[in-house]
Structure 1
Amino acid sequence: MSDIEKTQELTVTLEEQLSKKVSKTILSKSVKIKTKKQKKGNFWGLMKFMFPLQVYKVMVNNGRKSWFIFRRYNEFHSLHEKIKKLYPDSNLRLPGKKIFGNLDPDFIQQRREGLDNFIQELVTHPQISQNPDVRAFLALDNPRNAQEPIDNDTFEDSDNMNGRDINPVNLGPSERQSVKPSDFEFLKVIGKGSFGKVLLARNKHEGNIYAIKVLQKQAIMKRNEVKHIMAERNVLLKNVKHPFLVGLHYSFQTPDKLYFVLDYVNGGELFFHLQRERYFPEQRAKFYAAEMASAIGYLHSLNIIYRDLKPENILLDSKGHITLTDFGLCKEGIDHSGTTNTFCGTPEYLAPEVLRKQPYDKTVDWWCLGAVLYEMMYGLPPFYSRDTAEMYDNILYKPLRLRTNVSAAARSILDGLLQKEKENRLGAKRDFQEIKHHAFFADINWDDLDAKKINPPYNPNVSGQLDLKHFDPEFVREPVPASVGRSMDSCKLVSASVMEADNMFQGFSYVPPAEDAFS
């Protein structure tokens, strides 16, 4: 590996400390810290008294060792001056000093981002990153001399603070050091999302094939989606026992990425098959809808609203059974009478109460089931328009049209699921029980369905686990990024993790206990 490749692994973000007593909890805003040596009439002493001293936290990782250091702005400034003289062509930029107005939140944010950019420029430069002053600044050669004031009662303006190695993430009882990116051979890109990619991967030790969802922490934080990602992780942990929900085998993290090691199903997205066939026969649509309803009912029993049922999130396995995936919009903690009001979902499948920005409950999922069932039988979502504003208007006000090319029972369940007032919607009173006992599902044996004893009406006919014919060729042709399989401890690269990210994603890593492990 070249020096350039090595230095590109180093990323740093900064964090201000918040109080005179530095808590063991990591906080994220600036702090008023008074110096003890303030003299009357001394202008700079007065300035220190009137304006807070901003201290920044930097998290550093080197192989298996991790530590954090505390640096003041003057230390960044001093380093900048030294490096600028040694490397005049580097064009390193540092945010300027500001005596007045330095408590302004915008200024604090801008300075923090500026200092972070400065550090990133340092550590990604192959020569500058090896400079002794830079290495000393990051305590790379002697991490035990890193600043660590956490155990002090007061945080003084001093460089003489002893440090200790720390693990940047508290992984909890599920932590297993053996689960890391280099345990897997990443074979193909099979999907892409807002925060990363889904890759086909083989575990080098077991030989098992998985779908691994790899997410970029920085992208998640930029869009304030940490809660959604952690909710997805939490829901995945609860899905282990259900046949129609994708299962989580492991979750773990590196300084810059999150990894979900998931069931691999290669029958293709329902969306893919609908596009190709335009619509399904009623019996086939009923089978898929029954399996979806079973999965949603199970989530509801755990007080979880799914909120994003759509053909793109419904996969077929190699036999033709459905698997729900992507739990990023799930809402936890909603009991039988609970509501929430976050505006989220996919336009074609949004329930009227969501569009009205009213509190909504679990019945939004039954609306979505109705919309997907309608699309499977008629070829388009029920109120579809290419113009989003018109489509929203249709969802709110346009009467539901049900053509007679489907059975009366099918029209009845669609009418019940697609009631614009949630109180009148099928499932409003007894949730899943109302759905499963509707006449449309009269010929479904639900125990056999959940046991996968009912033969699916369509078989994807895949030749094996590596058969990718049902995946978008655009993804499959994409090269696998080298960084996804790189484990920091195995390649001994220096890195600096984002302390904020590790706090936000605390408890992310997961390995199932032996009794829950997949065969």
Structure 2
Amino acid sequence: MLKLQKSLNQALTTGMVPLRGEALLEDGGFLCKPASSAPSSGGRLQCTIETPYLVENRIIMYRIAVESYGQTWYVHRRFQEFMALSDTLKKLYPKDLVPKLPSKTLFNNRSEEFVSKRSKGLQQFLNALLECEILRGDKHVAGFLQTELTDERLLESRPDNNASRQSEKLNDTAPGSSFTSSEEDRESPTSSGEVVNLGRTEKQHVKPKDFDFMKVIGRGSYGKVMLAKHRTTEKHYAVKVLNKKHILRRNESRHIMQERDILVKVLHHPFLVGLNYSFQTSDKLYFVLDFVNGGELFFHLQKSGNFNEPRAKFYAAEITCALAYLHSQGIIYRDLKPENILLDNTGHIVLTDFGLCKEGLKESETTSTFCGTPEYLAPEVIRKEQYDKTVDWWCLGSVIYEMLTGLPPFYSRNNKQLYDNILHQPLTFKHNVSSTARSLLTGLLEKDKKKRLGAKEDGDEVKAHAFFNDINWTELERRRLKPPFIPTVSGKADLNNIDPEFTKEPVPQSVARSNGSVSLSASMVDNEFKGFSYAPQSIRNDPY
């Protein structure tokens, strides 16, 4: 490893960088001949993107061969990591100095033509990057080209580590495929009782002591959410720590495992919180999530009283995209409320907390579990009737109504009266609610689920309503629309938008030194949580 690091440092600082094809600057972008057409450059630094491959049938990885001064090593990167590097460089240098990346798509596109085109674009990006003396010497570029523990893990996840995996059809797997809790964990030898096996093909270990737990930022029935910083990468995360005893006592292990599975399944949507890791010790479960510090929608609604219509419309549109995507994956959210909607540091919404989701429902299937938050329950849930994904559109109507007026519809402090209002009382409006907003809310808060807006065409039907006429949905889903409000955030660990009710609590010392961690596959006592542990095939992007 030291030899490889020395070779990389030498190549990055000597200016001896090969041009693996002719590079032409055109409209701020760089166009190059295919890298494979260039001869070897001896001691100079070369980067070659090899044929992309799938990891665990879901993640497209780009294997980069890095050659310098007789040393060759490999790094494995996802497209999101190229984007993170580009974004970092744009913050440090003039934007026209940083080469362009190939275009981004919102969801996975696995056609061979698309992936081949993207590979060529990424090769051009690397060539242009290394041609520039300023960028070539940047520490972030050096870090991007360094080998990591994840590389060996990824190589071993390819059957027999041979070329047949590289030529696998990238469009053979359904976009929604995911790891599940039923997958068998592979045991790994450990030198300490503290490490936790991360499941099939995983060799890297995560444990509580890898993190500095800084502040309490949330609380739930089974544990707390804490701001934590990874001691090696210095990235900040929101770590949800749950007590196994409390979960088992209430017979909720199935819901926790379902939440884990859903988080893994919906990793890549722009308006859903991202799971970075999940791991466990003998007495606790840990969800390591993106730290989103713009504050809960509830927090900002309390400060403002209510939102004007353009602001409410923007949030409603992004929430609609998130719900429609969940429905497309066979998931009903069931607990939409302002407390579960976060704002990121740029003002976009992030949906969090998937503990009450129902997974695996097909288009016409229903369920009947009584769950949710009283103020936002749909009539059919209160009646304990069979219900479907239209309950989420009722919840959306309730949240929009609250954003515009300051209170949920049919509100009462007495739950019995509240339920009676939801079931029997007509919807009323304040004078500040426009006619198109009233029309939307009347459709979403229709007591008959079969007549409710969204019952026929789901998200497409909601998006087509006149209330959203001025929303460009394509630009919105790419996060290109300017948010109407930018939270005041001074840095990665800023807690200004987190309720002081949480941050003033002391951090429990037990979260960092749990009572002896165990290898998941070797644990008989933790059979309830078998398959909980998860690590991605490459580290997720830091939200900053």
Q: TM class by shorter-chain length?
A: 0.5 to 0.7
The residue that corresponds to 2:483 in the other structure is: 456
State whether residues 292 and 322 of structure 1, in contact with CA within 8 Å, keep that contact through their aligned partners in structure 2.
yes
Q: Secondary structure at the match of 1:422?
A: coil
Asked if the contact 1:195–1:220 (Cα under 8 Å) also holds between the matched residues in 2, the reply is yes
Q: 1:394 to 1:412 in 2, by over 3 A?
A: same
TM-superposed CA distance for 1:480, in Å, is: 1.0
Residue 249 of structure 2 aligns with which residue? 222
Which residue of 417, 423, 427 maps to 2:444?
Answer: 417
Q: Which residue of 2 aligns with 1:319?
A: 346
User: 1: distance between equivalents of 2:303 and 2:460?
Assistant: 33
Match of 1:289 among 310, 316, 319: 316
SS of equivalent residue, structure 2 residue 526: helix
Q: Which residue of 1 aligns with 2:206?
A: 179
Q: Which residue of 1 aligns with 2:394?
A: 367
What whole-Å deviation, never above 9, does each CA across 1:290-312 have from its counterpart, x for those lacking one? 11110000100000000000011
Is 2:540 the partner of 1:513? no
Residues in 2 aligned to 1:496 and 1:506: alpha-carbon distance in whole angstroms: 6
Partner SS, residue 200 of structure 2: helix
Q: Does residue 424 of structure 2 align to residue 378 of structure 1?
A: no
Q: Mean Cα displacement is larger for which, 170-179 or 308-317?
A: 170-179
The answer to whether structure 1 residue 205 and structure 2 residue 232 are counterparts is yes
1:175: Cα distance to partner?
A: 3.8
Would the aligned equivalents of 1:187 and 1:202 in 2 still touch at CA under 8 Å? yes
The reply on whether 1:306 has 2:333 as its aligned counterpart is: yes
Unaligned runs of 5+ in 1: 1-165
* 1:155-207, Cα deviation, whole Å (9 max, x unpaired): xxxxxxxxxxx999985315445211111111111111100000000001111
Larger Rg: 1
8 Å CA contact 1:321, 1:456 repeated in 2: yes
Deviation at 1:503, TM superposition (A): 0.7
Query: In the alignment, is the contact (CA less than 8 A) between 1:266 and 1:468 conserved in 2?
Result: yes
- How big is the shift at 1:398? 0.4
**Aligned residue runs from structure 1 range 421-440, under 5 A:** 421-440=448-467
Tell me by how many angstroms 1:500 deviates: 6.7
Q: Deviations over 1:429-450 (max 9, x none)?
A: 0101101111111111111111
8 Å CA contact 2:488–2:496 kept in 1: the answer is: no
The code of the aligned residue for 1:480 comes to V
* TM value normalised by structure 2: 0.62
Q: 1:330 to 1:507 in 2, by over 3 A?
A: same
Instruction: Report how far residue 487 of structure 1 moved.
Output: 5.8
Provide the residue aligned with 1:344 in structure 2: 371
Q: d(CA) in 1 for partners of 2:329 and 2:407?
A: 31
1:406 maps to which residue? 433
Residue 232 in structure 1 maps to residue 265 in structure 2: no
Task: Report Cα offsets for 1:454-473 as digits up to 9, x if no partner.
Answer: 11111111111121111121
Q: Is the 8 A contact 1:366 1:417 kept in 2?
A: yes
Q: For residue 172 of structure 1, give the secondary structure of its aligned residue in structure 2.
A: coil
**Conservation of the 8 A alpha-carbon contact between 1:174 and 1:510:** no
Aligned partners of 1:260, 1:174: CA distance in 2, in Å? Answer: 20
> Quick check: 2:277–2:534 contact (8 Å CA) kept in 1?
yes
Structure 1 vs Structure 2: percent identity of aligned residues?
63
Shift of 1:514: 2.7
Aligned residue among 455, 462, 468 for 2:495: 468
Matched length: 352
For residues 468 and 300 of structure 1, what CA distance do their matches in structure 2 show? Answer: 32
For 2:289 and 2:409, locate their aligned partners in 1 and report how far apart those are by CA, in whole Å.
Answer: 32
Aligned with 2:277: secondary structure? strand
2: CA distance, partners of 1:174 / 1:407: 55
Q: Is the 8 A contact 2:198 2:535 kept in 1?
A: no
Distance 2:432 2:261 in 1: 42
1:380 alignment partner, SS class? coil
Matched residue SS, 1:323: strand
Change (3 A) 1:168 1:221: farther
Cα 1:297–1:453 shift into 2, 3 Å: same
User: CA separation in 2, counterparts of 1:375 and 1:494?
Assistant: 46
Contact 2:337 2:399 in 1 (8 A): yes
Q: Would the aligned equivalents of 1:169 and 1:506 in 2 still touch at CA under 8 Å?
A: no
SS at match of 2:246: helix
Structure 1 CA distance for aligned equivalents of residues 496 and 365 of structure 2: 43
Note the C-alpha offset of 1:498: 12
| C-alpha deviation, 1:477, in angstroms | 1.5
Tell me the CA shift for residue 391 of structure 1: 0.4
Per the TM alignment, residue 408 of structure 1 is displaced from its structure 2 partner at its CA by: 1.4
CA distance, structure 2, for counterparts of residue 508 and residue 181 of structure 1 = 15
Mapping of residues 109-148 of structure 1, within 5 Å: none
Give the distance between the partners of 2:267 and 2:351, measured in 1 at CA: 12
Distance 1:222 1:177 in 2: 31
Return closer, same or farther for 1:400/1:422 CA change in 2, 3 Å cut-off.
same
In structure 2, do the counterparts of structure 1 residues 423 and 180 end up closer, same or farther at CA, with 3 Å as the change threshold?
same
- The residue number in structure 1 matching 2:301 is 274
